[in-house]
């Protein structure tokens, strides 16, 4: 797997971070199973770095996903004929099961976001002292062409404790990496990654 990326650098010091800090597969795990963990880039005071932090700002996207899945379900279950097909075809039942699971996963995210908005944590060190990295992108151009970022741009996001400003610069190489799934409690605390699990 390879994804385009850019570096986040500081105008005053040699700090360096990467847009790919949020790449990979992140899941919450609870008694019933696992569901998707939405994350974003953020400044973490514990790590003193821009890294992946929890993101509870995607509830309207999750809600619209639920609505469209429910519409599909009502299409596929709304008539006697549709239900006869459901009895006859295993693939239709499997589709229903997996769609219901997806809806459940979005619903859990919305529930969690309701309970924990404002308590976003760093997904590396679990610190609550985090700020989403959402700078105004100023002066310059950083775009994806041909599966790579090109160019560079300044931001209005200050490097905390340094006084320099972050700027973003396209990486010359594409990152190749295999991302092992990472699991967290619904409190945002790291449990395990499959890679580490197989190591021991």
Between 45 and 59, whose beta carbon lies closer to Zn ion? 45
Contact pick of 122, 155, 170, 184 for Zn ion (by CB under 5 A): 122
Size of the site for Zn ion (CB under 5 A): 14
By rule CB under 5 A, what string of x and - marks binding of each residue 73-112 to Zn ion? Answer: ----------------------------------------
User: Please, which residue, 6 or 43, has the CB nearer to Zn ion?
Assistant: 43
Encoded tokens for 172: 């010359």
Residue 82 CB, nearest distance to Zn ion (Å)?
49
Helix (H, G, I), strand (E, B) or coil at 184: strand
Nearest approach in angstroms of CB 59 to Zn ion is 24
The 130-159 site mask, x for binding Zn ion (CB under 5 A), equals: -----------------------------x
Nearer to Zn ion, 44 or 112 (CB): 44
Partnered with residue 168 across adjacent β-strands are 8, 153
The answer to whether 13 and 159 are in contact (CB under 8 A) is yes
Site residues for Zn ion, 3-42, by CB under 5 A, read 10, 12-13, 15
One-character DSSP codes across 95-153: HHHHHHHHHHHHHHHHHHHHHHTT---BTTT--S-EEE--PPEEEEEEEEETTEEEEEE
| Positive/negative CA dihedral, 148, 154, 156, 159 | positive
Length of the chain measured in residues: 200
Q: Is 174 helix (H, G, I), strand (E, B) or coil?
A: coil
> Can you read off the two tokens belonging to residue 59?
């509830």
* Residue 124 is a binding residue for Zn ion (CB under 5 A): yes
Binding residues for Zn ion, rule: CB under 5 A, are 10, 12-13, 15, 44, 46-47, 122, 124-125, 127, 159, 162, 164
């Amino acid at each position: 797997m390879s994804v385009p990326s850019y570096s986040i650098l500081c105008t005053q010091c040699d700090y360096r971070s990467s847009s790919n800090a949020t790449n990979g597969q992140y899941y919450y795990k609870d008694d019933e199973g696992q569901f998707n963990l939405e994350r974003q880039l953020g400044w973490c005071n514990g790590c003193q770095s821009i890294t992946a932090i929890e993101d509870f700002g995607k509830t309207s996207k999750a809600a619209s996903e639920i609505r469209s899945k429910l519409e599909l379900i009502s299409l596929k279950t709304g008539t006697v004929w549709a239900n006869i097909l459901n009895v006859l075809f295993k693939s239709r039942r499997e589709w229903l099961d997996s769609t219901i699971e997806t809806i459940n996963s979005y619903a859990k995210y919305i529930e969690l976001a309701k309970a924990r908005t404002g308590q976003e944590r760093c997904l590396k060190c679990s610190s609550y002292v985090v700020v989403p990295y959402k700078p105004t992108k100023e002066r310059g151009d950083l775009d994806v062409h041909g599966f790579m970022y090109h160019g560079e741009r300044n931001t209005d996001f200050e490097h905390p404790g340094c006084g320099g400003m972050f700027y973003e610069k396209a990486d010359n190489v594409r990152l190749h990496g295999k991302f092992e799934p990472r699991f967290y409690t619904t409190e945002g605390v790291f449990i395990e990654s499959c890679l580490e699990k197989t190591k021991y």
